[in-house]
A and B are shown apart, each in its own frame.
Chain A
Amino acid sequence: MIGKRPGHASKPSGATFPDQRRTSKPPPQNAVKRKPPNRLRSEPPPRKSTGGAQISKVKTSTRFRAWRRHHASMAADSLKRLLKAPGSSLMTWAVIAIALSLPVALYIFLNNAQLVSSNWDGTAQISLYLKSEVSDVEGRDLRQELQMQDDIAETRYMSKDQTLAEFKEFSGFGEALNYLDGNPLPAVIVVRPNINGIEAQEALVATLNDLPQVEEAQLDLAWVKRLFHIMELGQRMITALGLLLGLAVLLVVGNTIRLAIENRRQEIVVIKLIGATNAFVRRPFLYTGLWYGLGGGILAWILINTSLFWLDGPVRSLASAYASDFSLIGLSLRDSLLLLVSGTLLGWLGAWIAVGRHLGAIEPR
């Protein structure tokens, strides 16, 4: 029995351990009554059995069921453990929730800002200063022509007299202008483009600039550009903040799991001694991390929606003061799911890291 070469012996018999137990040994009461030879004789066959495939088929399915059962029971058990100590669990959940909700809040803010700015985008206008030799009629014709273009939403013609009147009214130099002989101001066509994006608008300005009647086309780009850059900055900040706080979640969960492992050291030693695999030992801790992450995600979702609800009133009154019906856009279903899933994944990952670092060190001595 022990004369085999070890290299050959170790693998096949390793694979047959569970079979032996299940197929060859009767329950204890019977076992006492039955004679030992019975057991001795019945032990070898499964090992050399040619019907091994059949046995292992049964084994695989029962093993899978056992594996699923253990997952379910560990998931329930680890959740119960968390709920048993609601105070400390809630603290961990709160820390994770705050860490998750910060980047999400920034994301919502940016989303809303984008929405507001897209409303404003239409007012980005191009002023076409016409050459002084272009007559009033020619100017109006040009306006008609431009109005037909697809990439232009609206045009407005202002004659030299109109621009002068407007200038007098808004500039405060009204009286001084009376001393000028003649009107130095050009006629203007104000164009509101029908296209978005700075580059497209700049291209439009360039074509308009090339028109023979136009002295100069000017797009009021400065604020659009600034806004665009601020948005880009905001997006980068969300990414950076998200990464940083995601890392914080990992560390928080990792540290909490490390404490949990430390608290259950004795239990880990014992179950390792009686034949628990590493996966078995790991499982409850991974589920604990998963619950921390999911709980944190749910709490973050609640925090964010409460804040939005709280802010909605003031935002509405502010918007109505600007004669707008703008209201805050919250988390969509997709965003909410993404928040919960990333919370859960982060918790699970944090647990993996802690388990990988600390579980190996706990070996029975």
Chain B
Amino acid sequence: MIQFSNVFKRYENGHEALQNVNFTLHEGEMAFLTGHSGAGKSTLLKLIMRMEVATRGQVMIDGLHLAQMSKRHIPFLRRKVGVVFQDHQLLFDRSVFDNVALPLVIEGMDPTDIGKRVRAALDKVGLLSKEKFTPIMLSGGEQQRVGIARAVVNKPPILLADEPTGNLDPQLSAEIMQLFRQFNAVGVTVLIASHDLNLITRMGLRMLALSEGSITHDGVPR
């Protein structure tokens, strides 16, 4: 589903963000991406979303070669990749419902179907009762869950999360991780960037450790 082969990424200012990164994440797999800040986690996620392009090497997502992808096709790639952002990226001028509905509106889904899907997604993250709220009325954890609902509402085959538990207390973090496991259980390929090593170890899942742009560990941590 996600395949990196000999990927290098050098920014215009000369910073080598990724160096010779190789890994494959199969369909239905779930893994963590860890490393210190600046190790290249965000760059790796950005490459998957085609926000950045690899300087060298190949990034393939669901059989698509991203370097050769025309700009016209980028939106369709992004519809396949649900992303939970560290800073949520919610729109504060509209309700929780409208935020979660956005990916479906973009796809042009029928409004009645949108209602059903959005409520199902909000139910999943336990926010069904707050669909009419605006995000600003919600706590950080709740905003994070709105972000998760939005990322999964259109049922993308791939789910990325960038520090989804960054500012949450351990119990909330565990709950959110549980959510990701549930999505994974229905076949979604999940990749979570996190520096919370305790949590990762407890989950007992595959971990990719990045250090200075290279993968230093790939496997289940002990």
Contact = CB atoms under 8 A, between A and B. Distances in A.
19 contacts: A2-B63, A6-B58, A10-B69, A13-B64, A20-B157, A21-B79, A21-B154, A21-B155, A28-B123, A28-B152, A32-B185, A36-B187, A66-B109, A66-B110, A70-B108, A273-B83, A276-B106, A278-B75, A280-B106
A283 B28 CA distance: 36
A201 to B, nearest CB: 64
B78 interface: yes
B182 A32 contact: yes
B62 interface: yes
A204 B51 CA distance: 79
B175 interface: no
Contact of A36 (B51, B150, B185): B185
Interface stretch (B33-41, B114-122, B206-214): B114-122
Interface in A269-305: 269-278, 280
Contacts of B187: 36, 39-40, 43
B120 A274 contact: no
Given A27-B116, A28-B155, A274-B78, A13 B63 contact: yes
Nearest to B92: A266
B117 A28 contact: yes
Interface residues of B, number: 53
B10 interface: no
A356 interface: no
Given A14-B76, A271-B102, A27 B49 contact: no
B72 to A, nearest CB: 8
A357 interface: no
A67 interface: yes
B159 to A, nearest CB: 13
B91 interface: yes
Interface string A323-343: 000000000000000000000
B51 A275 contact: no
A275 B108 contact: no
Interface string B124-163: 1000000000000000000000000010101101000000
Contacts of B102: 270-271, 274
A25 interface: yes
Contacts of B73: 10, 14
Interface in A28-74: 28-29, 31-32, 34, 36, 39-40, 43, 62-63, 65-67, 69-70
B79, B90, B108, B157: residue with the most chain A Cβ atoms closer than 10 Å:
B108
Name the interface size band of chain A.
Answer: 35 or more
Given A1-B27, A10-B65, A17-B80, A275 B186 contact: no
A288 to B, nearest CB: 15
A275 B64 contact: no
Given A40-B27, A70-B105, A270-B91, A275 B79 contact: yes
Contacts of B79: 17, 21, 274-275
Interface string A89-121: 000000000000000000000000000000000
A4 interface: yes
B164 interface: no
Given A31-B155, A39-B186, A276-B106, 13 more contacts: A2-B63, A6-B65, A10-B69, A13-B62, A14-B76, A18-B107, A20-B157, A21-B154, A40-B27, A62-B108, A271-B102, A274-B106, A275-B77
